[in-house]
Amino acid sequence: MSDKVYIFDTTLRDGEQSPGATMNMAEKITMARQLEKLGVDIIEAGFPAASQGDFDAVTKIAESVGDIQVAGLCRALISDIDRAYDAVKHARNPRIHTFIATSDIHMKHKFNKEPEQILEMARKAVRHAASLTPNVEFSAEDASRSRWDFLAQVVEAAIEEGATTINIPDTVGYAQPEEFGKLITYLLETVPNSDKAVFSVHCHNDLGLGVANTLAAIKAGARQAEVTLSGIGERAGNAALEEVIMALHTRKDYYDVETSIVTEHLFPSCRRLATTIGQPISPYKAIVGANAFAHESGIHQDGMLKNRQTYEIMTPESIGKKGTSIVIGKHSGRNALGSKLTEMGYHLDDTQIAAVFKAIKTLADKKEEIFDEDVEALVLEEAYRIHDLYRVKELSVFSGTAGVSPHAAIVLEDFSKGSEDPVQIQEVGFGGGPINAVFSTINKMVGRDPKLELYSVNAVTGGTDAQGAVMVHITDNGVKSIGRGSDEDIIVASAKAYINAINRIERMKQEKQNA
């Protein structure tokens, strides 16, 4: 029988901490459920000591999933470890993931400590974590730039103290595949108790080698891969889950390992993430990009018609690239929508289904075909928005050629006074263009003047009647926030995204006050 490679997904931790990928609680929970359906073995749900929001999210995810292991990241500090355990202990299978850097450059400049002191901190941290749960992972941050002999010493100590998984991160994406594979072989052969732990790798993509390094390490004997959907993560991201999985799957002859991933859920999972964070999948993205299975050249098309295997090493069906079986349209009833949502992996209550149903009916009046992406965008819009303090009720914009001063008239529902019934506020304002007019009018209404750092608009599907998905990044008094909104009218989508970003700032302010 082939060995199993455990898939440790860190989309909700390393992925979520990257710019533009912030998710609210409901979005995180729905992603965690999707990851469970995909078949990952471990979800890293967050970094509980980082903030109250992270702690709450990890707790909620731990409570919401089934048998899947839920890891909480923590520095090698007793207080961090306790905080992580307090959050993950609600899971059926909790894991503590503690880390400390082992490279000379990190030990000297981040900690100003000698290697012996770091070794002692690692020992103490793992010992404490192992007193709370038998499922302890230890990571030697910046392992690929650490001295191999010192790294081996730390790894041996961590296993002695009770770590059952040893993670070797290529934190800065510096390693080269052959060299990284050799490091894993060296550790497996040199560390006397290496057979007592699963060796794991966590590769960043700074030189575009995250997946290659992960695969080289698996070939050398690593049996856990830390990955993220679509490769999101710090800087250039992490090794992409779908790429690692399809390499192992397509080249089973070469790797001879198994995973528990249900490959047919790969594309729906990446699409779910893209819709949630409002960042579309690049058409050239391996495995899940729109062009990944498109054959354009005549010679290729001819070959494909004769035998698909001429140019196709895997099928679109194997990654779940096909429509789901229930098609939603103008005449679909609520039950059909309910079944569709379940098929897509959403668990919504009746009120949420009713809100999505109403939005789909409105959209179906304007749009010929309703795609899964449309349903997903509406679910996020209607069911998973963070609790709004302001909501767009009415909006009209006037703009045109030179000589016309673009202006916006907006009515907002204001829930900020704390009552269930919102107060309506209205305002008219001018701007250099229609979006500028909308944003500056909203600023007047909410009494803020944030700096717009980024504005992007993408079509949710193809077709001229597609919904627009807008993402904004704003900074207000040093606080950064991201907002997303979708609508068949891109100006309305822009207003929703801007209000969403402001709601998040208000929410952070409230959380700070409560804390």
Q: Minimum distance from CB of 59 to ligand KIV (Å)?
A: 20
Please identify, among the stretches 9-17, 40-48, 262-270, 488-496, the one whose residues bind Zn ion according to the rule CB under 5 A: 9-17
Position 36 contacts ligand KIV (CB under 6 A): no
Position 156 contacts Zn ion (CB under 5 A): no
Residue 185 tokens read as 């072989």
Residue 449 tokens read as 């003047």
Name which of 44, 109, 111, 49 is nearest 75 in CA terms: 49
Of positions 9, 14, 243, 374, contacts Zn ion by CB under 5 A: 14
Task: Using the CB atoms, write b or e for 21-35: b if 16+ within 10 Å.
Answer: bbbbebbbbbbbbbb
Q: Minimum distance from CB of 11 to ligand KIV (Å)?
A: 12
* Closer CB to Zn ion, 202 or 265, in the complex: 202
Q: Is 97 annotated as a binding residue?
A: no
CA distance 258 to 68: 17
Q: Minimum distance from CB of 127 to ligand KIV (Å)?
A: 19
CA distance 83 to 47: 9
For the chain, how are helix, strand and coil distributed in percent, rounded to 5?
45, 20, 35
- The three-class DSSP label of residue 25 is helix
Using the structure block, give the residue that is written with the tokens 């002999």: 149
Q: Is 202 annotated as a binding residue?
A: yes
Position 202 contacts ligand KIV (CB under 6 A): yes
Using CB distances below 5 to 8 A depending on partner kind, what does residue 376 bind out of ligand KIV, Zn ion, none?
A: none
* Closer CB to Zn ion, 35 or 490, in the complex: 35
Q: Is the dihedral of CA 155, 156, 157, 158 positive or negative?
A: positive
CB atoms inside a 10 Å sphere around CB 213: 29
Q: Is 14 annotated as a binding residue?
A: yes
* Closer CB to ligand KIV, 161 or 381, in the complex: 161
CA distance 476 to 287: 38
Site mask for ligand KIV (CB under 6 A), range 97-126, x = bound: --x---------------------------
Of positions 9, 141, 388, 476, contacts ligand KIV by CB under 6 A: 141
Task: Using the CB atoms, write b or e for 166-185: b if 16+ within 10 Å.
Answer: bbbbbbbbbbebeebbbbbe
Q: Minimum distance from CB of 32 to ligand KIV (Å)?
A: 18
Using CB distances below 5 to 8 A depending on partner kind, what does residue 88 bind out of ligand KIV, Zn ion, none?
A: none
Q: Is 170 annotated as a binding residue?
A: no
Of positions 169, 434, 483, 485, contacts ligand KIV by CB under 6 A: 169
Of positions 8, 12, 14, 60, contacts ligand KIV by CB under 6 A: 14
* Closer CB to ligand KIV, 159 or 360, in the complex: 159
Instruction: Tell me if 515 sits within 8 A of 52, measured CB to CB.
Output: yes
Site mask for Zn ion (CB under 5 A), range 408-427, x = bound: --------------------
Q: Is the dihedral of CA 125, 130, 132, 135 positive or negative?
A: positive
* Closer CB to ligand KIV, 232 or 490, in the complex: 232
Q: Minimum distance from CB of 137 to ligand KIV (Å)?
A: 9
For the chain, how long is the longest CA-to-CA vector? 79
Using the structure block, give the residue that is written with the tokens 């993220």: 228
Position 226 contacts Zn ion (CB under 5 A): no
Please identify, among the stretches 165-173, 240-248, 303-311, 346-354, the one whose residues bind ligand KIV according to the rule CB under 6 A: 165-173
* Closer CB to Zn ion, 99 or 371, in the complex: 99
Q: Rule CB under 6 A: which of 83-102 touch ligand KIV?
A: 99
- Written in H, E and C, the secondary structure of 170-233 is ECCCCCCHHHHHHHHHHHHHHCCCHHHCEEEEEEECCCCCHHHHHHHHHHHCCCEEEEEHHHCC
Instruction: Tell me if 96 sits within 8 A of 85, measured CB to CB.
Output: yes
Please identify, among the stretches 167-175, 254-262, 358-366, 467-475, the one whose residues bind ligand KIV according to the rule CB under 6 A: 167-175
Position 373 contacts Zn ion (CB under 5 A): no
- What is the Rg, in whole angstroms, of the alpha carbon atoms belonging to the chain? 25
The annotation places the binding site at 14, 202, 204, 238
The annotation places the binding site for Mn(2+) at 14, 202, 204, 238
For binding to Zn ion (CB under 5 A), which residues are involved? 14
For binding to ligand KIV (CB under 6 A), which residues are involved? 14, 73, 99, 139, 141, 167, 169, 171, 202, 204
